Structure 1
Amino acid sequence: MTRPNPPLAIALILVATAFIAGTTLLAKVLGTDALGEPLHPFQVTHGRFLFALIALASVAAILRPELQRPHLGLHMARTTCGAIGVTLMFAAAARMPLADATAISFLNPVFGMILAIPLLGEKVGPVRWSAAAIAFAGALVLLRPGPDTFQVAALLALGAAAVMGLELIFIKKLASRERPFQILLVNNTIGWILASTAVIPVWQMPTPAQWAALAGLGVLMACAQACFVNAMARADASLVTPFTYLTLLFAALYDAAIFGIIPDWISLLGAAIILTGAALLAWRETRARRIPKTSGA
């Protein structure tokens, strides 16, 4: 059993957030003409799964972890949602500021909470509903409703958050059945198979620079997942989760450094509102773990 180590857990989650923002940055580069003819989001997703699988399979070959019989039905459901979610997210990142797309992605735990009502039979009280309402208000700000400012790409990010919220339900079910490394290995194997099928109609030969970016995206994603899993094993989720919001900071820094995009006041306002809702939800979950529940809250 892994020993608790909160400082190391925080360090790992900070590295994970930098990596996750980096994958979104690479997806944006690949989806534009920065390195050649833009790649279709399906091809970017294929590269993400392919190279992440290569990285995880290499680790498995060295460490030879003990594996058990996987629940293929749950894995298929989880991976399908994950593949759709990242494809939508990569498409959004190529068409809008990284900070905006990343902020909207923080709605996925809110969608997960809402979907847990019919799928897991969970009860949701006024505090969590309030958190959801606040977060959705922030998303509405980032959608920039108006004939001259509306961001169609934000709908892609919103769809990504919804699908990844559903993915959280399946991850929760899998986490109680299988070991973390096995979940990652099976997830990326199935994801690669699905993505290999979807990419056939839109495949184009990447440039050498695009191959490098695809490899970097996959390896960064595998490293981010490994850091996140190890952080969760060394500290309570209530300690680790708030630090994941720094993904937004890294995304904004990358966007400014590479594309010269500086968040405007609407982006900052929308992100702040979403983070407020997400933080309220995280606080509610932390409180629920410390205080026995007698009713939904």
Structure 2
Amino acid sequence: MTPTRQNPPLAALLIVAASALLAGTTLLAKALGTDVLGPPLHPLQISHGRFLFAFLVIVSAVAVLRPRLTRPHWGLHLGRTSFGWLGITLMFASVAFIPIADATAISFLNPVFAMVLAIPLLKEGVGPWRWLAAAVALAGALILLRPTPESFQPAALLALTAAAVIGMELIFIKKLAGREIPIQILLINNAMGLTIASVAVSFVYQWPTPQQWAALAGIGLLMACAQACFVNGMARADASFVAPISYATLVFAAVYDFAVFGVIPDGISMIGSAIILTGGLILVWREARHRHSATDSRTACNSAHSD
């Protein structure tokens, strides 16, 4: 498989686009989970719509592009899709009750949970800087939970659980990385996700209004485009460069929530979100330092051998 040519400016543009699109999916999920477009839909039905229409978009892309598909690793795909479906369903459930920006900020704990899970599952070592980043990010999440009798947000626990579940999905994504081309991964992910979601939604299905059908289609289209932008952006620049840009999702989420629902982030939301972002940036900084140190060591070693 030919490596994608590095292009950091294009990567940044793709990740910003992915962030705007991803925040748009949570906006539509909130509209569907409340009474804005008709009787509220169950989160299982919203995630079903996400996989249904995303699958149709990706199948159309495959039919046009006709990429060369290879033999997939079915076990890794099933694990990745199962956790991804559960995570997105919990995320869609949470945004019906708490501000989109809060749910989005909590979702940035995904890499923290993935880091912790990688210790037993991938046998990765975790140093003090990584633990510091995890502690800081989790402190921010605790603030967003508002753990007092007067202000506690039970629905925020849905977003927190979603972050943990998607952290597990990231473990499977790491194992899939480099094995198959991006469009094949997206095709199989959405095909399996649609199958799982179709079984789950059969217990709670209700016929959507025309506006809800449009929003469900919008979620699928936006999610498919966001995935494509994110995968292609990641392929064109180092993860340490791309990861901080993805935090733009929080900005878009806050803007959308204010523009459509008139929700203004309060002081607690802003403080908690800022702390989570700080933890995430510490993790990104440490990963960049570690990667550069490893590269320098290999370069020095190669130079010594060449002498």
- Structure 1: which amino acid aligns with 2:184? Q
Match of 1:56 in 2: 58
Is it true that 1:277 corresponds to 2:305 in the alignment? no
What does residue range 173-188 of structure 1 map to in structure 2 within 5 Å? 173-188=175-190
Whole-Å separation in 2 of the counterparts to 1:245 and 1:220: 18
Mind listing any 5+ residue stretches in structure 1 that lack a counterpart? none
- Structure 1: which amino acid aligns with 2:169? E
Q: Displacement of 1:92 after TM fit?
A: 0.3
Whole-Å separation in 2 of the counterparts to 1:291 and 1:84: 37
Match of 1:88 in 2: 90
The counterpart of 1:238, out of the listed 231, 237, 240, is 240
SS at match of 1:202: coil
Q: Displacement of 1:253 after TM fit?
A: 0.3
SS at match of 1:292: helix
Residue by residue, what CA displacement relative to the aligned partner does 1:233-273 show, whole Å, maximum 9, x if unpaired?
21111111110001000000000000000000000000000
Q: Displacement of 1:4 after TM fit?
A: 1.6
Whole-Å separation in 2 of the counterparts to 1:125 and 1:175: 23
Residue by residue, what CA displacement relative to the aligned partner does 1:264-291 show, whole Å, maximum 9, x if unpaired?
0000000000000000001111111111
Mind listing any 5+ residue stretches in structure 2 that lack a counterpart? 298-307
- Structure 1: which amino acid aligns with 2:166? M
Is it true that 1:16 corresponds to 2:18 in the alignment? yes
Is it true that 1:162 corresponds to 2:145 in the alignment? no
SS at match of 1:257: helix
Residue by residue, what CA displacement relative to the aligned partner does 1:12-60 show, whole Å, maximum 9, x if unpaired?
1111000000000000000000000000000000000000000000000
What does residue range 27-38 of structure 1 map to in structure 2 within 5 Å? 27-38=29-40
- Structure 2: which amino acid aligns with 1:253? V
Whole-Å separation in 2 of the counterparts to 1:4 and 1:277: 27
Whole-Å separation in 2 of the counterparts to 1:273 and 1:135: 6
- Structure 2: which amino acid aligns with 1:255? D
Identity %: 67
What is the root-mean-square deviation in Å for CA atoms of aligned residues?
1.0
The counterpart of 1:109, out of the listed 111, 129, 133, is 111
Whole-Å separation in 1 of the counterparts to 2:32 and 2:221: 15
- Structure 1: which amino acid aligns with 2:275? I
Q: Displacement of 1:225 after TM fit?
A: 0.4
Match of 2:212 in 1: 210
Q: Displacement of 1:95 after TM fit?
A: 0.7
Residue by residue, what CA displacement relative to the aligned partner does 1:158-181 show, whole Å, maximum 9, x if unpaired?
000000000000000011311111
Residue by residue, what CA displacement relative to the aligned partner does 1:87-133 show, whole Å, maximum 9, x if unpaired?
00000011100000000000000000000000000000100000000
Kindly name which structure, 1 or 2, has the bigger radius of gyration based on alpha carbons: 2
What TM-score comes out, normalization by structure 1 length? Answer: 0.98
Whole-Å separation in 1 of the counterparts to 2:238 and 2:134: 23
Match of 1:26 in 2: 28
Whole-Å separation in 2 of the counterparts to 1:134 and 1:172: 24
- Structure 2: which amino acid aligns with 1:65? P
Say how many residue pairs are matched: 294
